[in-house]
Structures are given as structure tokens and as C-alpha cells.
Amino acid sequence: MNLFFYIVLLTLDQTLGNRNCENASFKNSEIETLAINFTMPYQLGVDPNTNTLFFSYSLQNSEESFKIVYLDLNNQKRGEVTGISGGFAQTVDVKNHVVYLGGSDGIYQFNYETKSANRLNITKNSIWQMFFKDYLYYTISLKEEAYVYKDGVAAKVKQLENTRASLIAVDNNHNIYFANSSGLYVSDNDNSIKHIGDYIINGFTSDINGNIFFSTLDKIYSIISGTSVKQIIELNDIHGLAIDAKGNYIYSTYNTVKRLKLDVTNCS
């Protein structure tokens, strides 16, 4: 498997566009395995303040269906987050340093001291995905409705009131990207919904500069602006995506979590 990845990487010589290090290359990059034997690691998120990765995985033969794992990328220490019912989603308010975790009965806040989650009084719904950009955006499992929690009040995202949305992301220009089973869409500044493409998206994420990225089963893309999408890399079997503070891609496969360590020797 790893050999396959290296061959794919060696045939690529791409540079990353709108990144901190514009000349980072995939040519001499490595793939590092961060976690193995977790069934279907799905939603991934990185807290760049502490360089901690959060990801959810499926439990088999148990009453609870999902759990969230924290993994300190500095020392590889990891554990399960306690105190949350069916943990599935994660996002970080970097400025105020709040790690939000989504469960089957609402939204929680992660406590680094106790490694447990405290439930917040935001919603009772089961959370599918979350994205923080100035405010906390989230989608509801099964219903595929998008909400935003703003100034202590949770309400449906106005622009998406009449559409299904299972995944949501917001860029620096306040464009709202969303995905449902029909593909990828954007609600831009004139509040009209535009179709970007028929991508079957399994994860949205952003880097520390607020650039939006997404993954499908075999590719990672970035959104340049509006409806313009750029393919970054082709990999095998991607289930979720996050970006660490250094701009490396962290992605999951059917039972592992891996990091694509970029070659930054050409960066100034």
C-alpha cells in the first residue's frame, strides 16, 4: 500500500498554490501513519494552537456508534474523549481557542486538562459536521439542515433554508460552500446558489489562512474562489481531511489516519 502511495507521489511534481509556503512540493514528500486499526475514521480536525488532531471512528458491537479520539501531533499521545454521547464532528475557534465536538445530542466543548467534553446549551440535535468561521456552523444528521450559532442563538443558515446540506464550509469572503448528495454548491455574496460540480465530498477543511479544501474518495482539492476548484493530489481511499498548522494534509483511509508530510526544502 505504502509503495503505491510513494509511486503516486514520485510521479507528481506539483507546487501548492495559495499556501504559506508556495513552493512546498509533493516530490520528496513522505506519508506517515498516525493511527491504525480505527474503523472508518471519518471527520478530522486540527487545533493549530496545540497541534492536536481530533478524529471520529465507528464502534462495532456497541451501543454507542461513534467515538472521538484526540491525538497530540507533537508527541503522538492519544486517547478517547470522554463525556460525550456518540462523538462524531469537530471544529476549532482558533482565535478564542475553543474546540467544539459534536455528538448525538448536541455540541460540546473539549477540556484539555481532563480530556473530556462538556455539553454546551446550543442544540439537542445530532450533529453531523461543524465548521467554525467567525461563528459556529453545523449540520444535523439525516435532516441535512445547516445551522449557525451566533450571539448565543442557534438558527438555520438563511441562505440554505430551502436546501439540503450535509457538509458546510465558509471562506474568508463569507461565501458559504455546502455539499449534499447532488454535489458541491456555493451561496455567494448575491445569495444565489451556484453549482460548482458533481463532487461526492466526504470532508471540508481549511488551513490556518482560511483557504478551503475538500476531499472525495480519491482526490484532494482546494477552492480558489467562488466556483473555481483546483485538484491538489490524487490518493487512494480518502475518507476525511484536515490540515495541520504547517500545511501538511492529514487524511483517513478505511482504518488508518495518515499525514502527507510535504517537502519544504524549496520554501523560503
- Binding region for ligand NAG (CB under 6 A) out of 132-140, 180-188, 209-217, 219-227: 180-188
Sheet holding 249-252, edge to edge: 25-36, 256-263, 249-252, 240-243
What mask of x and - would describe binding to ligand NAG in positions 67 to 106, judged by CB under 6 A?
Answer: ----------------------------------------
Contact residue for ligand NAG among 62, 96, 181, 192 (CB under 6 A): 181
Q: Which is nearer to ligand NAG, 33 or 49 (CB)?
A: 33
Which is nearest to 53 in space by CA: 240, 234, 264, 223?
Answer: 240
Residue 62 in the binding site for ligand NAG (CB under 6 A): no
Interface with ligand NAG includes 164 (CB under 6 A)?
yes
**CA nearest 262: which of 85, 29, 101, 5?**
29
Residue 129 sits at the vertex; the CA angle it makes with 203 and 184, to the nearest 5 degrees, is: 45
Q: State which of positions 184-203 bind ligand NAG (CB under 6 A).
A: 185, 193
Say if residues 133 and 170 touch (Cβ distance below 8 Å): yes
Q: Compute the least distance from the CB of residue 84 to ligand NAG, in Å.
A: 18
**Cα distance between residue 87 and residue 65, in whole Å:** 8
Question: At 130, which amino acid appears?
Answer: M
CB nearer to ligand NAG: pick between 119 and 219: 119
Residues that bind ligand NAG (CB under 6 A): 22-23, 36-37, 121, 163-164, 180-182, 185, 193, 267-268
